[in-house]
Amino acid sequence: MYRYLFFDADGTLFDFEQAEHNAFWKMAESLSLPLERKHEQDYIRCNAEVWKQFEKGEVTIDELKVKRFANFASETGIFLDAEEASRSYQYQLSGQGILFDESITVLETLKERGYTLFLATNGIAEVQRGRIAVSNTERYFDHIFISEELGYQKPDPRFFAHMFEVTGLGEQKQFSLMIGDSLSSDIAGGIASGMDTLWLNKEGKPQDPKVQPTYTHNSLSSVLDFLNGPL
């Protein structure tokens, strides 16, 4: 039934939590910041809050990069240069191409079965391009869509409209499938654009009655049992 697979990156193919952890502490070391373990959770919270503001259009992506560290410094009392911390963090994060154990097997198998693969990710272009390069995964995808490069972020319908315009698959939506771990961005956006969706619910999160994916799987590897080959 499906021929064209659009994969989310973070939380789906890439282990972003581990990448974020590594980058945070490498940044702290490079700037000689006197941080304690609890400060990592403080940063994660500040980061999430600013990303929510970005999704609502309250801040730009450039403002987001710095504001999350400015808020972190304000809330923790840690003295730092927010712009310097942002540059260091982005540099460190761009080198963290950490995949889940099954990701390469899944991508290689699906390519061998004849599917056309695309990557559709939110995030900062410098960071995502770096991580894709380090992980050597670009070769699997016919095209890579990154929100900062597009100017729109999932679930914005313009993100998905751009994907279909570039790929020429606007009339092939019935053969296209969005695969991702986020109900609010991957699945909601895919549904709104007229695609079928596959939600990777690895953590057993409760279903949102307002967002109904076409399929739900609890592991990436289980996708191989479902996608036996394109028509």
Residues with active-site annotation: 8, 10
Which residues does residue 200 pair with via DSSP β-bridges, in sequence order? 217
Which residues does residue 143 pair with via DSSP β-bridges, in sequence order? 118
Separation of alpha carbons 33 and 194, rounded Å: 47
Q: Exposed e or buried b for every residue in 6-28, given b needs 16+ CB within 10 A? A: bbbbbbbbbbbeebbebbbbbbb
Tokens of 220: 């990436």
Dihedral sign (CA 154, 155, 157, 161): positive
Tokens of 17: 């939590």
Tokens of 175: 């053969």
Across the chain, the runs of DSSP E, i.e. the strands, are 4-7, 116-121, 143-146, 176-180, 196-200, 215-217
Helices (H), 31-124: 37-55, 61-76, 82-94, 103-112
